Amino acid sequence: MAIHHSASESKHKVVLQPSGRSGMVPEGITLLEAARRLGVGIEAICGGRESCNKCMVRVEEGMFPQYDLHSLASHLSPPGERELAFRRRGILPSGYRFSCTARVRGDVLVTVPEESRAQKQVVLKQASGRAIVVDPIVRLHYLELEPTRAGDRADRQRLLCELERRFGLSGVEFDYLALRELSETLHKADGAVTLTVWDQRLVIRVQPGYHEQPLGLAVDVGSTTLAAYLCDLRTGELLATATDMNPQVTYGDDIMSRISYANEVASGRDRLHGAVIRAINQLARNATRQVGLRVRDIVDMTMVGNSVMHHLALNLHPRSLGVAPFIPVVEDALDLKASAIGLRFHPGARLHVLPLEAGFVGADNVGVILSEQPHRQDEVMLVIDVGTNGELLLGNRERLLCTSSPTGPALEGAQITHGMRAAPGAIERIRIDPETLDVRFKVIGEERWSDELPPGKIQARGICGSGIIEAVVELFAAGVITASGRFARGLDTPHLIESDGLKAFVLVDATQSATGSPIVASQRDVRNIQLAKASLLVAAQLLMQEWGVDAVDRIVLAGAFGNVIDPAYALALGMIPPCPLDKITSAGNAAGDGACIALLNRAMRLEAAGVARWVEHVDQPLADEFQSLFMAALSFPPIPEAIYATRRK
Amino acid sequence: MAIHHSASESKHKVVLQPSGRSGMVPEGITLLEAARRLGVGIEAICGGRESCNKCMVRVEEGMFPQYDLHSLASHLSPPGERELAFRRRGILPSGYRFSCTARVRGDVLVTVPEESRAQKQVVLKQASGRAIVVDPIVRLHYLELEPTRAGDRADRQRLLCELERRFGLSGVEFDYLALRELSETLHKADGAVTLTVWDQRLVIRVQPGYHEQPLGLAVDVGSTTLAAYLCDLRTGELLATATDMNPQVTYGDDIMSRISYANEVASGRDRLHGAVIRAINQLARNATRQVGLRVRDIVDMTMVGNSVMHHLALNLHPRSLGVAPFIPVVEDALDLKASAIGLRFHPGARLHVLPLEAGFVGADNVGVILSEQPHRQDEVMLVIDVGTNGELLLGNRERLLCTSSPTGPALEGAQITHGMRAAPGAIERIRIDPETLDVRFKVIGEERWSDELPPGKIQARGICGSGIIEAVVELFAAGVITASGRFARGLDTPHLIESDGLKAFVLVDATQSATGSPIVASQRDVRNIQLAKASLLVAAQLLMQEWGVDAVDRIVLAGAFGNVIDPAYALALGMIPPCPLDKITSAGNAAGDGACIALLNRAMRLEAAGVARWVEHVDQPLADEFQSLFMAALSFPPIPEAIYATRRK
């Protein structure tokens, strides 16, 4: 492209800030077109109809010797009627122009504000705070058709011609239901309609008049927890989050029991499928209701989940995932209509299901990769997605390994005597004085610790995953339990009671409990936590062995639960391999973040497809080898210094 | 391609009869592959699995000096286990081989029987008897997968690899529902499945085991009559036909009244849509039941109909078709899932809707073009599709014009005092003695005329379209009515009675009537026939005027009703422009034939798309001009000699 100053009268220099891109463009083209030619995408839903108010740019006045040009607003064509109306209403500030109608008449310097860029940057609000470029696969286009005359082509064809003329989209098709909307809409709307176009090739919705907020939903289908993120697909903004239990837990706690249910019970698979779809529909209603929007405006969804959750959500039989060699029905990414699996958004809404990796390592882990990007790093990173089915990644840009671990739900507070979900009233932090064995704790929803408040002020309802982990570590550090996990013999303290024939330690007495009964950690609870943490540790060790490393550079704890666990306690529990404490971070629900990333950026869907086939799956070893690794992983490591530090808090 | 004899030891000459195609092929390739390279497609559902028995060819023995080769069966690899089993069971005759497994070891001469060809010729059974090549868009492919091993790709991917390896199909996708069938089927079928593939790119069905009969349904949605043709998509055989009234007649006799109903009545459009879809589902059930097959095996459907029937069947609002400039919502051909509009065939079944031309000239007329091929002729042909909404074509390979005519249902026996559908008991032929005014007639379902049977033997139930046309012509020829259509004055005959205050001629007295009341032709009946025939004649005259011809070379009467009308009577009625009697033919339901052609031959769908955009629509003239043409067209022309000839029969 010629970007030198030219003497030709028919060309002018255009400089775009903040990118600094510049070049010569022909007299009379719009700033929108000039920016496109210089490689800067400006958003324009209405394609030059002066309706959408999205393409405004600031025109800089004065001399700009550094750019060798003298920019004046008069170097642009004057504003038209509609543009002036926007200015009078105060929507278009002084000094700004619609780039879709301002035509280049001389040299100009314009600034393209972030909100006018076709590909905006947004920062995901979750823990990681990573920035992504908003470039969704669904875009809105506003069109106005002239009244029909004899010899005109059909409505559909006229819209497609206009779509090509104004937005350069060719070869676009209509979804059948969009055709029906068209036949109902065009007449009422006097020819002014907003088309929702998927992948620049399929019209999935026709709305009367002007619209600018397509909604998208990213859904993480966990074995125990469902999470849905409602996004504005134009701005990339996270509008609302909704989470709930996966109702499939009624039919079995973990993935193997769900497979059995699907195999053995008549229409068991349909029931599992129906339950999770109803729950996702409910999450969508909750999320849209929070912000006063309509489920019907959701036009795109992405979904992640482990292989079994993936199959059940799609109503594919998980039978072959339950027996070696664990071959799924489909592993590649899928694009389908959301309605095909019973989701009740807009009837034309699309669904993108991220690809599976292998075995039980599913689309949720692909989401984690999108979010954590281990394949783009030099450091050898271990990512542990802590969930009922734990999934682990190890590697860097050279090689990436994955495996899964049947952790079970104990680390999420299930299968624990007084376990509960991470909800208000749940104990999430706990400290035990090694001298007195007195217990201090903190519950979700209250900033202060129990000893900072009058006795009985806190009513604890139960203990969540991070709470029980800290409790087990503290019991070990205080000598109440041994390195093998047994309650120490001969300990004489009123905290120790007998409960259902098992020894149990009273964490919270009846006066501070919402149920009126003490909240305890029993011998069985300690055992369940040991089994779960050993399962994760063995999986990490297997990956390290396969990769050929003794230690990792960095550990990321992912999963909704990984977000709240204190890295020092994870280390003290022996749930993760040794690593400097400052190299252990939490990534929040990285799988959910990955689903959001794929929702907001179409290219990331391709990246997901590529990396899913590149990552190598490491199988669990044969029973004997596994057994000995597992036995060793059950016990607790020596208490790290960090724990003493945290207890002095 | 080198087809000369080569000295190379690694090549052999293969000659294929009856085409005579020949060439050198490498040692060791199968006869199937050799034929493909020589441009002869051989059918093979199983792709070399020796299961489908479709690819058999006859191997000729002996010396063939004319081909410069010496063919012996030993010049092929010996038969394998499965092939020998087929021979023992008598399915594979002596001298025949499976071309998918017989490998070329020397020069051979083989005959490919018609039934083994990939593209068979079939003759449509309707009146025209035209032959078409069977090359459907849906094909079956039988595959066998090996048991899974560790590291295998997902089921879907393994099937797609096999589909590419055995049948050369690449880039194929799975319909979501086919994926579900796959997850339910593969396990039960031990890896042996038949895939139904649409357009070489979409798997729409997965069946366990071997299958070879995909069903297709061609449907003509007429304003008054629905017709469905059930075909075997592999052989092209017409298996069954089913027809019924269009239940939309309850909501209005003609297309304008249906548009009004859709416009004015709440959910009127949904009701019209639902009625016709239920009727098509019923026709499909009837047709499959006739031959002991299942509706669930229908995997493809084509549909034709005028513009309003087209919109209502697709549940698109016909509003804009009711007001100038009569722009449809969509005019191009549509490919969708049959289930999208409520058709209950196989859930993955496809629907191809032929394109509209313009105005009311719809996909039914495109069907007529496919069937009658006026665009491939030198003769200037006038095709009149006689229906409630008449559609006319005029032209040849140079130029093709179309228009429509609001004929009304009178010519089909509706809006006639004793009119009825063409069903058993309906008078279809009638003769009136000009001397005595005695009436002879023939009813559907009885070969003999009324005067060849004892009095009272025939019980006529009413009069159908062809009967009423003949009655009107005969009444005119006998002088009972004048050229202007009025009953002649002063006629004294007991046949003439007064009925509802109108003059009426008794065609059949009470003794020969199934109802016990006479069957008459009233003054209003004559008027209704005049209005309908004038409407068709004016439309034909308009096209001739636009084309610039005074006479046409050939007239084709199409439509289920066009099939039974006697050309001599059509001419005598003045329903068609003058033309030598031997140049007037009936084409049966040409629209339905066209739907069958598009069902059986994929290339014809493209031809339909092209011709639909090429044909020119001639608008009806302004009211004044139309009025004078119409008035002139109402009266009857002089009785042609042919009528006297037919009366002497």
Q: What DSSP designation does A471 have?
A: H
CB pairs under 8 A between A and B: 116
The answer on B148 and B107 residing in a single domain is: no
Among A179, A319, A334, the residue with its CB nearest the CB of B329 is A179
* Contact yes or no for A328 and B177 at CB 8 A: no
- What's B226's domain CATH number? 3.30.420.480
Buried b (16+ CB within 10 A) or exposed e, A530-543: bbbbbbbbbbbebb
Note the pLDDT of residue B129. Answer: 63
Cα–Cα separations (whole angstroms), residue A224 to A206, A386, A480, A596: 38, 11, 31, 20
Tell whether A229 is within 8 A of chain B (Cβ).
Answer: no
The answer on B312 and B222 residing in a single domain is: yes
Q: Which residues of B touch A327 (CB under 8 A)?
A: 148, 152-155
The answer on A430 and A333 residing in a single domain is: no
pLDDT bracket for residue B6 (50, 70, 90): very low
Among A187, A320, A331, the residue with its CB nearest the CB of B320 is A187
Of the two residues A161 and A563, the one the predictor is more confident about is A161
The answer on B326 and B223 residing in a single domain is: yes
* Contact yes or no for B619 and A156 at CB 8 A: no
Q: Is the dihedral of CA A155, A161, A167, A168 positive or negative?
A: positive
Kindly report, residue by residue over B404-460, the tens digit of the pLDDT: 888 888 887 778 899 887 788 899 999 999 999 999 999 998 999 999 998 878 889
The answer on A568 and A489 residing in a single domain is: no
- Whether residue A360 is contained in a domain is answered as no
- For A505-509, what is the mean pLDDT? 94
- Per-residue pLDDT at A4 exceeds 80: no
Q: What is the pTM of this model?
A: 0.86
- Per-residue pLDDT at B127 exceeds 60: no
- What's A146's domain CATH number? 3.10.20.880
Contact indicator for B230, B217 with CB cutoff of 8 Å:
yes
Query: Based on the number of CB atoms within 10 Å of its own CB, is B463 exposed (0-12), middle (13-18) or buried (19 or more)?
Result: buried
Note the pLDDT of residue A560. Answer: 67
- Whether residue A470 is contained in a domain is answered as yes
- Per-residue pLDDT at A3 exceeds 50: no
pLDDT bracket for residue A73 (50, 70, 90): low
Tell whether A184 is within 8 A of chain B (Cβ).
Answer: yes
Note the pLDDT of residue B130. Answer: 72
The answer on A340 and A289 residing in a single domain is: yes
Return d(Cα A79, Cα A91) in angstroms, integer: 14
* Contact yes or no for B331 and A153 at CB 8 A: yes
B636 Cα distance to chain centroid: 33
Among A148, A183, A337, the residue with its CB nearest the CB of B325 is A148
Answer yes or no: is the ipTM higher than 0.90: no
* Contact yes or no for B317 and A179 at CB 8 A: no
State the residue for tokens 């609001």. B406
The answer on A228 and A293 residing in a single domain is: yes
- Whether residue B367 is contained in a domain is answered as no
pLDDT bracket for residue B359 (50, 70, 90): confident
- Per-residue pLDDT at B179 exceeds 80: yes
Note the pLDDT of residue B5. Answer: 45
- Per-residue pLDDT at A5 exceeds 50: no
The answer on B513 and B539 residing in a single domain is: no
- Dig out the tokens for A304 from the structure: 């992640």
ω before B18 within 30° of 0 (cis)? yes
- What's B85's domain CATH number? 3.10.20.30
Note the pLDDT of residue B491. Answer: 87
* Contact yes or no for A319 and B187 at CB 8 A: yes
Return d(Cα B193, Cα B155) in angstroms, integer: 12
- Dig out the tokens for B174 from the structure: 């799975």
Buried b (16+ CB within 10 A) or exposed e, A378-401: eebbbbbbbbbbbbbbbbbeeebb
Mean pLDDT of chain A: 89
Return d(Cα A25, Cα A173) in angstroms, integer: 33
Among A151, A156, A328, the residue with its CB nearest the CB of B154 is A328
Kindly report, residue by residue over A436-490, the tens digit of the pLDDT: 999 999 999 899 999 999 877 888 999 988 899 999 999 999 999 999 999 998 8
* Contact yes or no for A325 and B148 at CB 8 A: yes
Note the pLDDT of residue B624. Answer: 79
- Whether residue B253 is contained in a domain is answered as yes
Q: Which residues of B touch A622 (CB under 8 A)?
A: none
Q: Which residues of A touch B317 (CB under 8 A)?
A: 183-184, 187
Tell whether A335 is within 8 A of chain B (Cβ).
Answer: no
Full residue range of the structural domain in which residue B193 is found: 134-208
Note the pLDDT of residue A463. Answer: 93
pLDDT bracket for residue A646 (50, 70, 90): low
Mean pLDDT of chain B: 89
- Whether residue A628 is contained in a domain is answered as yes
The answer on B419 and B514 residing in a single domain is: yes
Nearest CA in chain A to B336: A176
The answer on A540 and A404 residing in a single domain is: yes
- For B633-641, what is the mean pLDDT? 90
- Per-residue pLDDT at B7 exceeds 60: no
ω before A18 within 30° of 0 (cis)? yes
* Contact yes or no for A180 and B324 at CB 8 A: no
Tell whether B250 is within 8 A of chain A (Cβ).
Answer: no
Tell whether A179 is within 8 A of chain B (Cβ).
Answer: yes
Q: What percent of chain A has pLDDT over 90?
A: 58
Kindly report, residue by residue over A116-165, the tens digit of the pLDDT: 888 777 766 554 567 888 999 999 999 999 999 988 999 999 999 999 99
- Whether residue A443 is contained in a domain is answered as yes
End residue of a domain, out of A184, A208, A232: A208
- Per-residue pLDDT at A569 exceeds 90: yes
The answer on B558 and B499 residing in a single domain is: no
Q: What is the DSSP string of B487-551?
A: BPTT---TTEEEETTEEEEEEE-GGGBTTSS-EEEEHHHHHHHHHHHHHHHHHHHHHHHHHT-SS
Kindly report, residue by residue over B604-627, the tens digit of the pLDDT: 999 999 999 999 999 877 777 888
Note the pLDDT of residue A6. Answer: 43
End residue of a domain, out of A186, A208, A230: A208
Q: Which residues of A touch B307 (CB under 8 A)?
A: none
Cα–Cα separations (whole angstroms), residue A416 to A384, A441, A504: 22, 18, 12
- Per-residue pLDDT at A299 exceeds 80: yes
User: At CA A444, angle to CA A443 and CA A450, rounded to 5?
Assistant: 25
- Whether residue B368 is contained in a domain is answered as no
pLDDT bracket for residue A562 (50, 70, 90): low
End residue of a domain, out of B473, B505, B529: B529
Question: What SS3 state is found at A236?
Answer: coil
The answer on A337 and A226 residing in a single domain is: yes
Kindly report, residue by residue over A232-289, the tens digit of the pLDDT: 999 999 999 999 989 998 888 788 899 999 999 999 999 999 999 999 999 999 999 9
Tell whether A259 is within 8 A of chain B (Cβ).
Answer: no
Note the pLDDT of residue A588. Answer: 81
Determine which of A59-68, A435-444, B179-188 has the lowest per-residue pLDDT on average.
Answer: A59-68
Nearest CA in chain B to A618: B151
- Whether residue A127 is contained in a domain is answered as no
Kindly report, residue by residue over B98-116, the tens digit of the pLDDT: 988 889 998 889 999 888 8
Domains in chain B, number: 5
- For B477-494, what is the mean pLDDT? 92
Looking at the complex, report in whole angstroms how far the Cα of residue A299 sits from the nearest Cα belonging to chain B. 19
Tell whether B267 is within 8 A of chain A (Cβ).
Answer: no
Kindly report, residue by residue over A11-30, the tens digit of the pLDDT: 999 998 888 888 999 999 99
Q: Which residues of B touch A311 (CB under 8 A)?
A: 183
Tell whether A270 is within 8 A of chain B (Cβ).
Answer: no
Kindly report, residue by residue over B364-390, the tens digit of the pLDDT: 899 999 999 999 999 999 999 888 888
Tell whether A149 is within 8 A of chain B (Cβ).
Answer: yes
